[in-house]
């Protein structure tokens, strides 16, 4: 049963269409991440669900209720903002109790719920402090606590980690993942960071220019990207692309042959199903899937070597002056200016 | 470096220019009437040589004596409690006939300043004084001379007293009445516009309604309307209301019997309304610009938490706008407190309801020779805004928003 349902959601600011016909189902207890480059409309989509923006057309259904005409507070959602948005003149306790006291809840019940939430987040000792006396991570936790006490149907997170430093970001990310397991609450999470998306999500929604590019489990998106955008957006370093022509297409159109930039291969997963033989196509292959092979078809001159410790990333230029990368978990004995050749497994490549 | 020290010099100059009149007012108000008439305020802090006249003893004291001792200062300060004369006696002006050294048997009229410890002949006795004012008057045989008035020059210590304040505050009711009237006018004329303006500013900043921006432009452009321009229509309006209220009064009550139907067209309420009306554009403009700068996420967060506009306003916006509210209330308080012209045209004109600036203006006529009283009134009228300013100062808190949003 879908907890959140978006049907033909459209949003335009003036003449600019920001969200174009988004259809999405989010199941109960699912952790869904909206990911995409900046300006892709992911935050707008979240704010549409929250009710901070009004729909141009379409339907949003939360817990079987159409919520388009409901104010944010009655939609059964709670939101954590990128900037935390804590009330600076209230203590942590009152920040968390604010929504409950507006609901005219009894003092005792408010206390019970705030303390329960504080316990979950291990911040009972912070309740009397003001936001100014908290660190960034603690503020983020208060913002999450403020969402928890409302006991919402859906949690909405708007880039909650982007204001934290790298170490804290990792720590908080782990905490959010644990929290989700503990509470089992339906969560929609917006980020531009693919690591957050890959690690946290049960389901990733990749957005571009207000349109859904692909929806699916993280590894599904990684292994079977639906288009060139998703393929290049997920994964680091980015996928390599080589231009060429489509060769013979297999009978069930699942695989095809490719030739171009000195590469010829067959049995490659065909993504663009509407292309005919001989049409211009792109071969996509992840840097991790290249293998050093003196007899390989793909060769290039090394222009840059980045040794990251866990991984070595090598940037190369091939004969057609296409830049491509090779990533290896070990540290191969390579030098700048050296020409090396690679082979790859065609079943791990994609044809767009 | 040069520009920095230049800046300090200019700042110091500005401070000096502003502080001097204040010091002058306060100093003059604390001096005696004579002192304020005879010398400028800048001489009040250093010893000044001043002439006084004292009599050696009281006229009803007819006991005979050979040696009389006394003290010039005691004689001078006898009977007056304020502004006691203290200091060093410099000289006594001697005027009298003494034997002529050139022509034995003859006398000449001598005028001279006698320094301390130099004997001089007064009423046939030998009069000696010291710089502390102690004098001895010795006669060859017991006698009971008439008291002698002597002119003494004293290097007088600075002396201050609150007599002028006591006089203006307690001698008659004018200044206390003016103080009360000014408070009656100023407090509502500050609170009313700031309350209305805060609501309006919130609406202009965070509520969307058709024509909002145009309405705001109109409100802001009202700032350029000078008060003086509107006196005539405003007055006409108030007198219209007053005559209407008079008729209503006659109709509803039996005031015709004792002829008390007349409702005054110039009243405190008129002043409140006028000051509110002319204060609002600036207040709305200032507060709106402050409120629109508050983080948007705070309001959105409050909306998600279930707060309606009124709750967002009272629980989030007002507590966070305290610095802006405080600074505007100081503006409005000062403006209304110091206002003369609006009070003159719109305010009540019976003597006991006059506000402070009008009272001061009237005192300029009555006290033109009593600078100390005039200055005491001025200081009283000035001290109120100073107290208001100092007590509001703690609301100018920097970093009120700290911890709310990122960075902080």
Query: At B225, which CATH number?
Result: 1.10.3720.10
| Count: domains in chain B | 3
Do B271 and B390 have their domain in common? Answer: yes
Cβ contact (<8 Å) for A85 and B315? no
Which of B118, B135, B157 finishes a domain? B157
Do B254 and B220 have their domain in common? Answer: yes
Among candidate residues A276, A290, A277, the one with its CA nearest the CA of residue A346: A290
User: What six digits make up the tokens of A342?
Assistant: 């690679």
Best mutation target among A43, A53, A89 (most B Cβ atoms within 10 Å) is: A89
Do B196 and B209 have their domain in common? Answer: yes
Best mutation target among B301, B325, B395 (most A Cβ atoms within 10 Å) is: B301
Gap from B405 CA to chain A (nearest CA, Å): 5
Residue-number span of the structural domain to which B200 is assigned = 165-405
**Contacts with A78 from chain B: Cβ below 8 Å:** 304
Cβ contact (<8 Å) for A52 and B304? yes
**Contacts with B405 from chain A: Cβ below 8 Å:** 83-86
A154 contacts A87 by C-beta, under 8 angstroms: no
Do B148 and B185 have their domain in common? Answer: no
Do B264 and B122 have their domain in common? Answer: no
pLDDT for A66-106, tens place per residue? 888 888 888 888 999 888 889 999 999 999 999 999 988 89
Dihedral sign (CA A38, A43, A48, A52)? negative
Cβ contact (<8 Å) for B403 and A103? no
Do B29 and B72 have their domain in common? Answer: no
**What b/e sequence results for A160-191 when a residue is b if at least 16 CB atoms lie within 10 Å of its CB, and e otherwise?**
bbebbeeeebeebbebbeebbeeeebbbbbbb
Which of B99, B133, B157 finishes a domain? B157
Cβ contact (<8 Å) for B402 and A82? no
Do B104 and B187 have their domain in common? Answer: no
A50 contacts A156 by C-beta, under 8 angstroms: yes
Cβ contact (<8 Å) for B319 and A130? no
User: What six digits make up the tokens of B162?
Assistant: 């609150």
**Contacts with B295 from chain A: Cβ below 8 Å:** 83, 85
Do B148 and B180 have their domain in common? Answer: no
Do B276 and B369 have their domain in common? Answer: yes
Which of B140, B157, B174 finishes a domain? B157
Cβ contact (<8 Å) for B303 and A71? yes
Predicted ipTM of the assembly = 0.82
Do B65 and B27 have their domain in common? Answer: no
Check residue B59 and give its pLDDT: 77
Chain-centre distance of CA A255, in angstroms? Answer: 28
Do B304 and B341 have their domain in common? Answer: yes
The answer to whether B318 faces chain A, any CB pair under 8 Å, is no
Q: Nearest chain A Cα to B318, which residue?
A: A89
Chain-centre distance of CA A113, in angstroms? Answer: 31
Concatenate the DSSP letters of all residues of A205-226 into one string. EEEETTEEEEEE-HHHHHHS-S
Q: Nearest chain A Cα to B301, which residue?
A: A85
pLDDT for A171-191, tens place per residue? 888 888 988 888 888 999 999
Check residue B98 and give its pLDDT: 77
Which residues of A lie closer than 8 Å to B, measured between beta carbons? Answer: 50-52, 71-74, 77-79, 81-89, 98-99, 102-103, 130-134, 136, 139, 146, 150, 163
Check residue B402 and give its pLDDT: 60
Best mutation target among A46, A77, A87 (most B Cβ atoms within 10 Å) is: A87
Among candidate residues A94, A123, A119, the one with its CA nearest the CA of residue A107: A94
Do B12 and B153 have their domain in common? Answer: no
Q: How many CB atoms lie within 10 A of CB B322?
A: 14
Q: Nearest chain A Cα to B300, which residue?
A: A52
Check residue B408 and give its pLDDT: 39
Concatenate the DSSP letters of all residues of B305-338 into one string. TT--HHHIIIIIIHHHTHHHHHHHHHHHHHHHHH
**Contacts with B297 from chain A: Cβ below 8 Å:** 81-85
In this prediction the pTM is 0.79
Q: Nearest chain A Cα to B316, which residue?
A: A87
Check residue B407 and give its pLDDT: 45
**Contacts with A50 from chain B: Cβ below 8 Å:** 304
Cα distances (Å, whole numbers) of residue A253 to A222, A226, A269, A350 = 21, 15, 9, 13
- The β-bridge partners of A246 are A258
Question: Torsions phi, psi of A12, nearest 5?
Answer: -130, 140
pLDDT tens for each residue of chain B, 408 residues long: 678 889 999 999 999 999 999 899 999 899 888 788 888 888 888 888 888 888 888 877 777 888 888 888 888 888 777 788 888 888 888 887 777 778 877 888 888 888 888 888 888 888 888 888 888 888 888 888 888 888 898 888 888 888 889 888 898 888 999 999 999 999 999 999 999 999 999 999 998 899 999 999 999 999 888 888 888 899 999 999 999 988 888 888 877 777 777 888 888 999 999 999 999 999 999 999 999 988 888 999 999 998 999 999 999 999 999 888 988 888 899 999 999 999 998 888 888 899 999 999 988 888 888 888 889 999 999 999 889 888 887 776 665 666 666 543
């Amino acid at each position: 049963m879908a907890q959140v349902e978006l049907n033909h959601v459209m949003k335009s600011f003036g003449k600019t269409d920001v969200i174009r016909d988004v259809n999405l189902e989010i199941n109960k207890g699912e952790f869904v991440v909206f990911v995409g480059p900046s300006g892709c409309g992911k935050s707008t989509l979240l704010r549409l669900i929250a009710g901070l923006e009004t729909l141009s057309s379409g339907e949003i259904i939360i817990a079987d209720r159409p919520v388009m005409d409901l104010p944010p507070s009655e939609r059964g959602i709670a939101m954590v903002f990128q900037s935390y948005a804590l009330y600076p003149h209230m203590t942590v306790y009152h920040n968390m109790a604010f929504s409950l006291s507006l609901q005219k809840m009894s003092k005792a019940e408010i206390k019970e719920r705030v303390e329960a939430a504080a316990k979950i987040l291990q911040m009972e000792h912070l309740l009397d402090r003001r936001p100014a006396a908290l660190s960034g991570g603690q503020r983020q936790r208060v913002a999450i606590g403020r969402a928890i006490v409302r006991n919402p149907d859906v949690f909405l997170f708007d880039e909650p980690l982007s204001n934290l430093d790298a170490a804290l970001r990792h720590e908080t990310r782990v905490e959010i993942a644990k929290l989700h397991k503990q509470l089992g609450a339906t969560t929609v999470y917006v980020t531009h960071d693919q690591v957050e998306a890959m690690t946290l999500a049960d389901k990733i929604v990749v957005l571009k220019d207000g349109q859904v590019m692909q929806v699916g489990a993280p590894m599904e998106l990684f292994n079977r990207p639906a288009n060139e955008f998703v393929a290049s957006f997920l994964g680091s370093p980015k996928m390599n692309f080589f231009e060429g022509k489509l060769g013979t297409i297999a009978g069930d159109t699942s695989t095809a042959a490719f030739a171009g930039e000195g590469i010829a291969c067959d049995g490659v997963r065909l993504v663009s199903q509407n292309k005919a033989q001989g049409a211009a196509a792109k071969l996509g292959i992840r840097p991790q899937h290249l293998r050093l092979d003196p007899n390989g078809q793909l060769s290039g001159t090394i222009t840059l070597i980045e040794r990251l410790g866990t991984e070595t990333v090598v940037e190369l230029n091939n004969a057609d002056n296409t830049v491509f990368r090779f990533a290896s978990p070990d540290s191969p004995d390579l030098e700048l200016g050296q020409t090396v050749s690679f082979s790859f497994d065609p079943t791990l490549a994609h044809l767009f | 470096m040069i520009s920095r020290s230049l800046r300090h010099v200019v700042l110091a100059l500005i401070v000096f220019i502003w502080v001097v009149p204040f010091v002058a007012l306060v100093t003059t108000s604390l001096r005696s009437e004579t002192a304020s008439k005879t010398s400028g305020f800048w001489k009040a802090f250093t010893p000044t040589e001043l002439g006084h006249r004292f009599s050696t003893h009281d006229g009803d004291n007819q006991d005979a004596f050979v040696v009389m001792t006394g003290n010039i200062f005691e004689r001078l300060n006898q009977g007056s409690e304020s502004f006691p004369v203290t200091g060093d006696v410099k000289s006594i002006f001697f005027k009298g006939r003494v034997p002529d050294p050139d022509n034995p048997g003859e006398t000449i009229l001598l005028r001279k300043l006698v320094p301390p410890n130099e004997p001089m002949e007064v009423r046939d006795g030998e009069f000696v004084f010291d710089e502390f004012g102690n004098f001895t008057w010795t006669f060859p045989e017991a006698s009971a001379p008439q008291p002698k008035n002597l002119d003494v020059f004293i290097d007088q210590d600075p002396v201050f007293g609150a007599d002028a304040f006591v006089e203006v505050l307690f001698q008659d009711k004018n200044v206390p009445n003016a103080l009360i009237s000014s408070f009656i006018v100023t407090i509502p004329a500050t609170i009313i516009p700031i309350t209305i303006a805060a609501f309006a500013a919130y609406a202009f900043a965070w509520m969307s309604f058709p024509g909002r921006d145009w309405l705001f432009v109109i409100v802001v452009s009202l700032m350029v309307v000078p008060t003086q321009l509107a006196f005539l229509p405003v007055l006409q309006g108030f007198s219209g209301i007053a005559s209407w209220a008079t008729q209503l009064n006659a109709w509803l009550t039996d005031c015709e019997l004792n002829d008390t139907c007349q409702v005054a067209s110039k009243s405190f309420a008129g002043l409140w309304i006028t000051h509110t009306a002319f204060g609002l554009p600036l207040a709305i403009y200032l507060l709106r610009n402050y409120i629109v700068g508050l983080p948007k996420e705070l309001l959105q967060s409050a909306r998600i938490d279930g707060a309606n506009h009124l709750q967002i306003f009272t629980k989030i916006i007002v507590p966070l706008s305290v610095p802006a509210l405080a600074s505007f209330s100081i503006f409005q308080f000062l403006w209304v407190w110091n206002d003369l012209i609006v009070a003159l045209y719109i305010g009540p004109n019976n003597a006991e309801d006059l506000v402070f600036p009008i009272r001061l203006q009237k005192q300029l006529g009555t006290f033109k020779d009593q600078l100390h009283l005039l200055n005491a009134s001025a200081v009283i009228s000035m001290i109120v805004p100073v107290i208001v300013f100092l007590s509001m100062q703690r609301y100018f808190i920097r970093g009120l928003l700290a911890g709310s949003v990122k960075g902080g």
